[in-house]
Chain A
Amino acid sequence: MGCENSENLLLLAAGELESPQAAALRAHLAACPACAAELEELRSGLAALSRLSELRPAPAVERKIYAATAGRLHRYRLIRPNFVRRYRSALAVAAALAVVFGWSIMADLLRPGPDAAALRQMWTATTANVIDSGVMSDELADLNAGDAWSQAGHQVFSGINKADLTGELLDLRDGVGQIEDELGG
């Protein structure tokens, strides 16, 4: 140890180190017993890991999970194309509004309030969470349990959910970039 090769040693042990680096490291290993010993330990750890058995839910539970999921396949096939497009837009709007509404809550809670960089970070995290999730109300309900920002997001989304998602709400999406620019200063 002490050679600061730990990361490359692990990649070598896992067979994932690129050839030129691997050759250089092997040359080093010939002259460095500490790194050679560390490599052996890592190989041994990986070998132990490879013996970890696979787990399975109980058959009855597995059947229940299959039934609960497979039953949704048809539904999503029927509504997928427009559904996804519409929801993505609505999500972007919800996330943007969550930031705007959330900001007013946070500004009260935290003084001095976060600066533009912090706001941008929150904005990014909120939109990433929501958009990555791909699904809306459950996800926002989860987020709702998280913090004041998400609570605001949930409230906003609940409102949106009841509204017609087409038309002027979609226009709000265009405001998202503008809000972000403003937050970014």
Chain B
Amino acid sequence: MPPQIDPENLAAWVARCRDGDSAAFELLFEAFRGPLYSYLARTTGDRHLAEDLLQDVFLRLIENIGRYEESGRFEAWIFRIAANRVRDWARRRTSSEWVGSMTGRSEDSDEPGVLDRSVDQPPDEGLVRREEVARLETAMSHLEREEREVLALRHYSELSFREIAEISGCPLGTVLARSHRALLKLRHELEAAEKESEKKKSPRKK
């Protein structure tokens, strides 16, 4: 869920945060922790890693907010920081044989795994809805990391594809091609999972 913040409020919070106003920082933290964490967790498939990255993103926000120029959207700026953290993580993973045991964290698996869902579902969600969400999360977890990333960025940041291209440093064509492929995969996987679920539900009749 992308942040629904009045742009004027946001600009005021950013200005106050830049002046060291901790109440303004708290407002920014509350507004962006969910979308940023969701993006990081969906992309990496690892909640603990996402927590570390989230902390890193907010530290960098504090360190760099003095350099934020208001010509661009704050959402794009903060998600660019997060995307850079993800890029660093991905780069470290690819050179993990070089890093070896230095990290102390096992990062050599390509399997993102399905995130623990139980934490996030409102208690009043119906069984059908929960099943749908579970299928969606499973389908997401089966995408390639870069596909998950672009979809998560799109969904949680609510940035346009052009803005996503800009903050991720990729040509727009690459972002569109990746998103297109990911969406079709997601769609097909969901369709297959729905059929499978229907098959299981309907009792065998003679």
In whole angstroms, how far apart are the Cα atoms of A141 and B148 in the complex?
28
Task: Tell me whether A121 is interfacial, beta carbon within 8 Å.
Answer: no
Question: Which A residues touch B34, using CB under 8 A?
Answer: 54-56
A6 touches B176 (CB 8 A): yes
Chain A: minimal CB distance from B63 (Å): 5
List residues of B whose CB falls within 8 A of some A CB. Answer: 1, 17, 19-20, 22, 25-26, 29, 33-35, 37-38, 41-42, 47, 50-51, 54-55, 58-64, 66-67, 84, 88, 91-92, 95, 98-99, 102-103, 115, 119-121, 132-133, 136-137, 139-140, 151-152, 154-156, 160-162, 172-173, 176-177, 179-180, 182-184, 186-187, 190
B121 touches A6 (CB 8 A): no
In whole angstroms, how far apart are the Cα atoms of A61 and B51 in the complex?
8
B66 touches A52 (CB 8 A): no
Nearest chain B residue, comparing its CB with the CB of A142: B88
Task: Tell me whether A29 is interfacial, beta carbon within 8 Å.
Answer: no
Contacting A76 at CB < 8 Å: which of B66, B119, B173?
B66
Q: Which 6 pairs, one residue from A and one from B, show the smallest C-beta to C-beta distance? A: A77-B20, A45-B183, A69-B58, A45-B187, A7-B176, A54-B1
In whole angstroms, how far apart are the Cα atoms of A178 and B149 in the complex?
39
Task: Tell me whether A10 is interfacial, beta carbon within 8 Å.
Answer: yes
Question: Which B residues touch A181, using CB under 8 A?
Answer: none
Chain B: minimal CB distance from A175 (Å): 24
Contacting A49 at CB < 8 Å: which of B47, B120, B151?
B151
Nearest chain B residue, comparing its CB with the CB of A57: B51
Give the A-B pair count, Cβ closer than 8 A: 158
A42 touches B29 (CB 8 A): no
- The secondary-structure label for the interface of chain B is helix
| A48-B190, A52-B42, A53-B133 given; A134·B151 CB < 8 A | no
A145 touches B55 (CB 8 A): no
One digit per residue, 1 when the CB lies within 8 angstroms of any chain B CB and 0 when it does not, for chain A 46-81 equals 101111111111100110011011101110111011
Question: Which B residues touch A78, using CB under 8 A?
Answer: 20
Question: Which A residues touch B161, using CB under 8 A?
Answer: 10-11, 14, 16
A49 touches B186 (CB 8 A): yes
B187 touches A65 (CB 8 A): no
Chain A: minimal CB distance from B124 (Å): 13
B155 touches A7 (CB 8 A): no
In whole angstroms, how far apart are the Cα atoms of A14 and B184 in the complex?
14
Question: Which B residues touch A6, using CB under 8 A?
Answer: 176-177, 180
B187 touches A48 (CB 8 A): yes
B155 touches A52 (CB 8 A): yes
A134 touches B19 (CB 8 A): no
| A48-B186, A54-B38 given; A146·B92 CB < 8 A | yes
A7 touches B38 (CB 8 A): no
In whole angstroms, how far apart are the Cα atoms of A141 and B88 in the complex?
12
Chain A: minimal CB distance from B41 (Å): 5
In whole angstroms, how far apart are the Cα atoms of A10 and B162 in the complex?
12
Sample 13 A-B pairs with CB under 8 A, ordered by A number. A7-B180, A11-B176, A14-B161, A46-B183, A50-B155, A55-B37, A56-B38, A57-B47, A57-B50, A61-B51, A68-B59, A69-B58, A146-B92
Contacting A53 at CB < 8 Å: which of B95, B121, B160?
B121
